[in-house]
Amino acid sequence: MARYFDVHPDNPQQRSIHQVVDIIRDGGLIAYPTDSGFALGCQLGNRDGLDRIRSIRKLDQHHHFTLVCANFAQLGQFVQMDNDVFRAVKAATPGQYTFILPGTREVPKQMLHPKKRTVGVRIPQHTTTLELLNALGEPLMSSTLILPGQDEPMTDGWQIKEELDNVLDAVLDSGDVGTESTTVVNFTGDEPTVDRQGAGDPSLFLA
């Protein structure tokens, strides 16, 4: 049964945030709010957590998981960027974007795309998410909480608690979740491509 934590959107209660962090560090899988819908998240290197995400979302081995980071310096540890990409990504963060980039050796092997060795990264613009990431002290291995057969992420914490109670360890809810998925920008080719158009303005990356 998932524990439910209801926190204030502007000043999340630190006791609840740290209880959720403890659950993550104990190998738990959580649902948490972001500026682009709820996401599923677990600790770096938690292979079982990734398998549970795959099971909930019915994902195949080629899905790009995302490292959700607290800041740009943290993001830069996990992906390779030339100067042009660096400037483009930095100008759009924090925000409602996910960037697909070549991973560094810091990325857990099970997170990397099996053929391309790439990974998704993002820095959300959401108080509760950033409080959670700062308390954890490292990125969360994540995937947007989009259930099979759906096109948009889940946005209601109580509904998540009811529907996924037996497969999650915690639901963190601050009542201010975004309603649209991130825009996914892929920087692994010669030119950036928009793999999914969502909340972020894609024109920033298209010539």
| Contacts for 125 with CB less than 8 Å, ≥ 6 apart | 35, 94, 95, 96
DSSP symbol at 139: P
Can you read off the two tokens belonging to residue 154? 């889940």
Q: Which CATH superfamily is domain 3-205 in?
A: DHBP synthase (3.90.870.10)
d(CA 38, CA 176): 10
Residue found under tokens 């639901």: 171
Which residues, including other chains, have CB under 8 Å from residue 98's CB and lie 6 or more apart? 66, 120, 121, 122, 182, 183, 184, 185
**Any idea what DSSP says for residue 193?**
E
Sign of CA dihedral 16, 22, 25, 28: negative
User: Is the CA virtual torsion 107, 112, 115, 116 positive or negative?
Assistant: negative
Q: What is the model's pTM?
A: 0.95
Return per-residue pLDDT of the chain as tens, 207 residues. 999 999 999 999 999 999 999 999 999 999 999 999 999 999 999 999 999 999 999 998 888 899 999 999 999 999 999 999 999 999 999 999 999 999 999 999 888 888 889 999 999 999 999 999 999 999 999 999 999 999 889 999 999 999 999 999 999 999 999 999 999 999 998 899 999 999 999 998 876
β-strands 183-186, 193-196 pairing? antiparallel
Both tokens of 133, joined, read: 């990431």
The pLDDT, as a whole number, for residue 136 is: 98
Overall residue count recorded for the chain in this entry? 207
Per-domain boundaries in the chain: 3-205
Q: Which amino acid is at 190?
A: D
DSSP 8-class letter at 149: T
